[in-house]
Amino acid sequence: MKDTLAHATEPSRGARTGAARLKGAPLALARGAWIVSTVVSLGLLVVAIPLVYQQIITPQTGPLCADSRFSPAQFAALHAAGVSPTSLAVEIIVVQIFTTLVYVGVGALIFWRRSENGVALFAATALVLAGTTFSDPHWLGASCALRAAWPAAGLLFELLGVVASLLVPAFFYTFPSGRWSPRWGPLLVLCWIIPTLPRALEPPGVNDFLYSHWGFANVTAGLLFASLFIAQIYRYRRISTPEERVQTKWVVLGSGLGLGAAAAIIAGGAFRGANPTSPSWPLFLPFWGAAIQVFFTLIPISFGIALLRSHLFDVDQLINRVLVYGSLTGVLALFYFGVVVALQRLTGQTQPVLVVLTTLAIAALAQPLRRALQRGIDRRFYRRKYDAARTLAAFSQTLRQEVDLAQLRENLLEVIDETMQPQRLSLWLRGAPPAPPAPPVPTSEPAADT
């Protein structure tokens, strides 16, 4: 009898999400709804781009309907800084086209490969609508451009944005199995309605309050986005199967990087006093806003990998590297800026020599700090791998000193059981080869005559 080790294979396409396949009329209706929503949202966006360009390069009076619309005072700040409104408008439109292509491209790929799967089709619809309408008031402002020319088209575009703002959190609250868990997830989805309602449908004064209290709006949005990760962590620990946990890691990794970078950028802008009502806002938007939009493209990319190629890469290793180097960057940045700010407070000015010394100190601390963070993260989040590495290191030391074959056999079995934890474990040792037959001994008697 011979023991074999079964290799884990990637689950079938239908088993990756755990959702039932759509068939017949429901499948045709779902595919038709995706095609219609894609054509309508993309068509309205393309029609709105020339109108958006004209609005961006023209000073706006009265309440501003999007973050990319500027007052006369903000235009004066642009001209004082030597920034052309035309180049600013072109940059905003180009970034919007890039992000839309990423969202819609990933959504179309999922639709093409997995449209028979309910969860995949749901994700494809959410990505298409999110890429065209989700962050529209904070970047392009296509809805207010359409509203000025064709009120019905503007209202339709805003309603598609509301649908996107409900589909995206609903996807997070139900991914990857397609079932609501926790059961109060739909109540959280309803909390996303008020901040995203069209101006014509929202209660009086809500939009003006959120626009004038920019910090409160950002904190509320941060809590809503945090609920998405809390739901995924809850499902990961309580509900998900091993295959679903791999998919969850991809979604949390990409979304965490995108939203975390956006939160850091928004916090940095708030520290610098950047908000849509400040005169210097047009100087921040081309850099801060564009960076946020680009980082947001990590979200659809993670969706696509989770639904199509979740086993293609080692997601645990990627998460480990992100934790290590993200923590290292944050610690070194805090150290650098803390030293620079402290020197400015003490001396009243920045000393170039001290700044150079601080930079050299950071360069010297980078590698030791990285190794310390690596050990700490391995101990905290990858305990099994960390213990296995220590066990193998200790066994390698024993291997150099042990000469007793029986004791070495016991040590080897113990190490394999501790690090790999197999269901059955056997060890066969090849015995000593049999001795060759002895050559015949010649006799001294003469051979008999024949």
Of the residues 313, 347, 367, which one is the last residue of a structural domain? Answer: 313
| pLDDT category of residue 128 using cuts at 50, 70 and 90 | very high
> Is it the case that residue 450 has pLDDT exceeding 80?
no
Average pLDDT of 322-331? 77
Residue type, 119: V
Asked if residue 323 is part of any domain, the answer here is no
pLDDT at 98 over 90: yes
Residue 321 lies inside a defined structural domain of this protein: no
The pTM is what?
0.71
Single-letter residue type at 331: V
Q: Is residue 352 located within the same domain as residue 285?
A: no
261 domain-assigned: yes
For residue 166, what are the β-bridge partners?
none
pLDDT at 429: 66
> What are the Cα distances from residue 258, in Å, to 110, 166, 222, 243, 253?
20, 19, 13, 24, 9
- Residue 8: inside a domain, yes or no? no
- Domain presence at residue 5: no
Judgement on whether residues 138 and 87 belong to the same structural domain of the protein: yes
pLDDT (tens digit, 9 = 90+) per residue, 205-236? Answer: 666 666 666 667 777 777 888 888 888 888 88
Q: Give residue 359's domain range.
A: 329-381
Is 300 inside any structural domain?
A: yes
DSSP letter at 427 equals -
Question: Cα(357)–Cα(350) distance, rounded to whole angstroms?
Answer: 12
Across 191-198, average pLDDT: 69
Let me know if 48 is exposed, middle or buried by CB neighbors in 10 A (0-12, 13-18, 19+): buried
pLDDT (average), residues 9-16? 42
Do 362 and 269 lie in one domain? The reply is no
How far is the C-alpha of 266 from the C-alpha of 103, rounded, in Å?
22
Contact (CB, 8 A) for 378 and 385: yes
- Residues 242, 338, single domain; the answer is no
Indicate the pLDDT class of residue 253, thresholds 50, 70 and 90.
confident
- CA distances to 22, 272, 363 from 355, in Å: 62, 21, 12
Q: Look at residue 297 in the predicted model and tell me its pLDDT.
A: 92
Whether 108 shows a pLDDT value over 90: the answer reads: yes
Q: Is residue 281 part of a domain?
A: yes
For the chain, what is the domain count? 3
What share of the chain in percent tops pLDDT 70? 71
Residues 72 and 213 in one domain: yes
Query: Which has more confidence, 56 or 388?
Result: 56
- Whole-number Cα distances in Å, 126 to 104, 121, 229: 10, 9, 17
Q: How confident is the model at residue 6 (pLDDT cuts 50, 70, 90)?
A: very low
Question: pLDDT tens for residues 57-89?
Answer: 888 876 777 888 888 888 888 888 888 888 888
pLDDT confidence of residue 197: 64
- Residue 3's pLDDT band, with cuts at 50, 70 and 90, is very low
In a domain, 446, yes or no: no
Query: With contact defined as beta carbons under 8 Å apart, do 104 and 38 qualify?
Result: yes
User: Of the segments 122-136, 190-204, 223-237, 359-373, which one has the largest average pLDDT value?
Assistant: 122-136
Instruction: Provide the pLDDT for residue 397.
Output: 66
On whether both 63 and 105 belong to a single domain, the answer is yes
Please name the residue that has the structure tokens 């959504």: 107
Q: What is the pLDDT of residues 418-435, one digit of tens each?
A: 665 666 767 676 665 665
